[in-house]
Amino acid sequence: MKFVDEFREPEVIIRTAEEIKRLADPSRHYRIMEVCGGHTHAIYRFGLKDLLPSNIELIHGPGCPVCVLPMGRIDDGLAIAQEPNVIFAAFGDMMRVPGTQGSPLEHKARGMDVRIVYSPSDALKLAEVNPNKHVMFFAIGFETTAPSTALTLMRAKSRGVHNFSVFCNHVTIIPAIRAILDSPDMRIDAFIGPGHVSTVIGCRPYEWIAKNENKPVAVSGFEPLDILQGIVMVLRQLKADEAKIENQYKRVVPWEGNNAALRAMAEVFELRPYFEWRGLGFISQSALRIRDSYAEWDTEQRFHVPGVRVTDPKAAQCGEVLKGVLKPHQCKLFAKECTPEHPIGSLMVSSEGSCAAYFNYEHRKTAMVTSIAMPA
């Protein structure tokens, strides 16, 4: 498969892993945060931790849109979908995220009209073929998915589709990284920067991390080789006592970002003064709302939104895991009350959530296996 297989070539991967071993100073402990949930998933799926020396610790970052969404927002969305003739449309990732009264999927089993869509434009199509219903698209995601929501809203406006609205939960990555760096219990040496977000925003917005915080950043792709090369880049910088922004994912990420996408976002969205993140609390100017010129397609302006605020279950330590202070298995509920089948926190839901990734691919492995040789 093109663009996939060449980044999974065993010889190159093994060579890169050896390079990492050479670069890592054995007397030092490295804490490298991979910002994206996509990275986290790939690290577990491809067993990359097995290839790294033990003094390189990968910290899973906040870049999982489902994971950072507070439960209250899910309750709000589901409350609106209770109204007659409303179709709740969302990405598949959202379907098993628990609200206080259950997940969208559980609401579907109780009769709510819940649909999985693969893009916001599919939700708009749904509205066009169901003129007597109102389709609410539950939008989540960082700058990766925000442009397609923006384009869909522009299309809804130009086509005059009035039975469609977006419940906007789009967030932006930079304030989250800043919140993590500002957190007193955080010590991070370097970042594997988000690949897909950067296809939109480019690499410039990270420059302050190198300049002001003196931390290396390598914007990286999601294949095994991409991630390992990103680690090589930041290790080289740390060795040379440098801090700069490097772009490992050049085949997709332009340094200056994608202007057309940024323009679409600017047309439709503006920054919220503040927004609540699960685990990180309220972060100012960290999320997007729909501009008044698109008020007709803004769920929050068209419907009464209860504005529910729900605290996470007391024992759940999603916040600490999300910030990288705790490893997934160090949470009190991990694999006990909280499993992918019965998730309590959303990190256990999305395949990009560090708890789900750890549970699915790692936890029984480390619990039961000390060393495993390759089968003959």
Partner 1 sequence: MSVAAGGNSIPSPIVRPDSAGPAKVRFREPQIEMAHGAGGKASRRLVEGLFAPLLFASSSEPLGDAAYLDFNGTKIAITTDSFVVNPLSFPGGSIGELAVNGTVNDLAVSGARAEAMVVTYVLEAGLPTPVLEAEVRAMGNAARKAGVAIRGGDTKVVEHGKADFMYITTTGIGRPLPGLKIDPHTVRPGDKVLLSGSIGDHGITILLARGELDFEADLRSDTRSVLPLVEALAKAAAPGIRWMRDPTRGGVATSLNELARDCGCGIVLTEEVIPVHGAVRGACELLGLDPLHIANEGQFLAVVSPEYADAALNALNLAPGGEDAQMIGEVREQPAGAVLVTTRYGGSRIIDMLVGDPLPRIC
Min dist CB 40 to partner 1, Å, is: 13
Q: Which of residues 219-248 bind partner 1 (CB under 8 A)?
A: 224
Residue 165, burial from CB neighbour count under 10 angstroms (0-12, 13-18, 19+): buried
Q: In the 8-state DSSP scheme, what is residue 102?
A: B
Among 35, 36, 51, 179, binds partner 1 (CB under 8 A): 51
**Minimum distance of partner 1 from residue 17's CB (angstroms):** 7
Phi, psi dihedrals of residue 163, rounded to the nearest 5°: -100, 40
- Is 8 a residue that touches partner 1 (CB under 8 A)? yes
What residue type is 31 in one-letter code?
R
CB of 343 to partner 1, least distance (A): 10
Q: Report if residue 363 touches partner 1, rule: CB under 8 A.
A: yes
Residue with tokens 């991630």: 227
* Per CB under 8 A, 129 contacts partner 1: no
Q: Is 45 in the site for partner 1 (CB under 8 A)?
A: yes
Q: Name the residue nearer to partner 1 (CB basis): 102 or 319.
A: 102
Closer to partner 1 at the Cβ: 205 or 328? Answer: 328
327 binds partner 1 (CB under 8 A): no
Q: Is there binding between residue 196 and partner 1 (CB under 8 A)? A: no
Question: What residues from 72 to 101 belong to the interface with partner 1 (CB under 8 A)?
Answer: 92, 95-96
| Residue carrying the six token digits 């969305």 | 77
What span, in angstroms and rounded, lies between the C-alpha atoms of 103 and 343? 10
Structure token digits, residue 350? 């999305």
Q: CB-wise, 14 or 240, nearer to partner 1? A: 14
Residue 359 Cβ, how far from partner 1 at the closest point, in Å?
A: 8
CA distance 343 to 67: 11
Contacting residue, 47, 53, 281, 306, with partner 1 by CB under 8 A: 47
| The only residue of 105, 174, 181, 186 in contact with partner 1, by rule CB under 8 A | 105
Name the pairing type of β-strands 274-277 and 281-284: antiparallel
| CA 155 distance to own-chain centroid | 26
Out of 157, 162, 236, 365, name the contact with partner 1 by CB under 8 A.
Answer: 365
Based on the shown chain and the rule CB under 8 A, indicate whether residue 34 belongs to the binding site for partner 1. no
Report which of 374, 32, 95, 85 is spatially closest to residue 234, judged by C-alpha positions.
Answer: 32
Stretch that binds partner 1, among 74-82, 195-203, 275-283, 355-363 (CB under 8 A): 355-363
- Using the rule CB under 8 A, which residue among 130, 208, 337, 361 binds partner 1? 361
111-115 LR contacts (CB < 8 Å, sep 24+): 112/78, 112/81, 112/82, 112/88, 113/81, 113/86, 113/87, 113/88, 114/81, 114/87, 114/88, 114/89, 114/90, 115/87, 115/88, 115/89, 115/90
- Taking the least distance from each CB to partner 1, the nearer of 26 and 375 is 375
**Is 49 a residue that touches partner 1 (CB under 8 A)?**
yes
Q: Take residue 202 and report the two structure tokens written for it.
A: 């480019």
Alpha-carbon span 298 to 312, nearest angstrom: 27
The least CB distance from residue 163 to partner 1, in Å, is 20
Query: At closest approach, how far in Å is the CB of 96 from partner 1?
Result: 6
Q: Smallest distance from the beta carbon of 360 to partner 1, in angstroms?
A: 6
Using CB under 8 A as the binding rule, whether residue 341 contacts partner 1 is answered as yes
**What's CA 256's distance to the chain center, in Å?**
22
How far is Cα 255 from Cα 246, in angstroms, rounded to an integer? Answer: 10
Amino acid at 282: F
CB atoms within 10 A of CB 22: 10
Q: CB of residue 178 vs partner 1: minimum separation in angstroms?
A: 29
Shortest CB 105 distance to partner 1, Å: 7
Q: Which residues are CB-contacts of 22 (< 8 A; sequence separation ≥ 6)? A: none
Contacting residues toward partner 1, per CB under 8 A:
1, 4, 8, 10, 13-14, 17, 44-51, 92, 95-96, 105-106, 109-110, 118, 122, 224, 340-341, 351, 360-365, 368-369, 372, 374-375
